Structure formats: structure tokens, C-alpha cells
Amino acid sequence: MSEPVKRIKAPVRFDYTVGAGLTLSRFLAALVEGRLVARRCPGCTKVYVPPRGACPTCALPPGEEVVLVGTGTVTTFCIVNVPFEGQTMKLPYVYASVLLDGADIPLLHLVDVPAAQARMGMRVKAEWVPPSERRPTLESIRWFCPTGEPDAPFDAIKEHL
């Protein structure tokens, strides 16, 4: 009697399309224009970037659009030292949560700073790719770079860690 079959290899492919919806589509279109837009929840008044179709806290549809200036504060970060397929950044590099000025939720993105100089509270600003290279993706922001401003105090970011 032969061994029972325990495993087989079977290739699987799923073709699908995901629609961004009205709120996220406006955010993505703004990125192509070199702008950051968020939405304020009419219930809890939190400003979400990228905007959500509904507030995760209140479950209300998004309220007014809020234009952000593209500056913010690093709340947390990691230093990436592990290579991976498709990688475009030279190791090591910094990936951080950036609390944009006027927003209540940090945005994850690259920070163009030597790894040894990365720190919580660092003030940063968006550096956009040239207009001809912008697409409806966060890759339209090349990275965030230091502004040279003094670091934000820990008390200003501790609720966003």
C-alpha cells in the first residue's frame, strides 16, 4: 500500500479589480497634483490621511476635506537592513510613521536621512517626484526629508505611537 497524499502543488490565480471609491479616489487624484488631502470625521473630528470611506471609530461617512501642507513629525520609525526583491532604496534606509501637521493618524513612508540620524520627533516635509512622474500612488512622494526645524517634544506625539 502506498503512502497517503499529504500535499500537492496547484497553481492558483485570481484576477480581480478593486475600486478605490470616491473618497480615496479624490486623495489619489490630489497626489498626482502634488497635494495631500485628508477628511475630518463629523463625529469625533479626527482627520484621516489617507481618508477612509467611514471613520473607524464612529462609523460615520467622511466629512469635510482638509488640505495638508506636507510637513509633519516622525512618531516612530524602523531602520531597514534586509534586502528584498524589487527593492529600490539603498540599505540601510528609514521607514517611518509621519504625523502630518493637521492630521490625527500617522502616514507610513520613507524618510531620507542617514539611519543613525533618525529619531522620534524629527520634523520632516514631503519631497515630491517631478509632476511628469506622478501617479495616483503614495510613490508620488519620493520621501520625507528633514526640515531643519527643532524636534517636536515627546508630549506632542505620544498619543500617536
| C-beta separation of 151 from 75 below 8 A | no
For 42-92, the pLDDT digits (tens) are 999 999 999 988 999 999 998 999 999 999 999 999 999 998 888 888 999
Q: Which helix (H) or strand (E) holds 146?
A: strand 141-146
pTM above 0.75, yes or no: yes
- Round to whole Å and give the CA distance between 84 and 72: 28
C-alpha cell at 33: 497634483
Handedness of CA 105, 110, 113, 114 (dihedral sign): positive
For 104-114, the pLDDT digits (tens) are 999 999 999 99
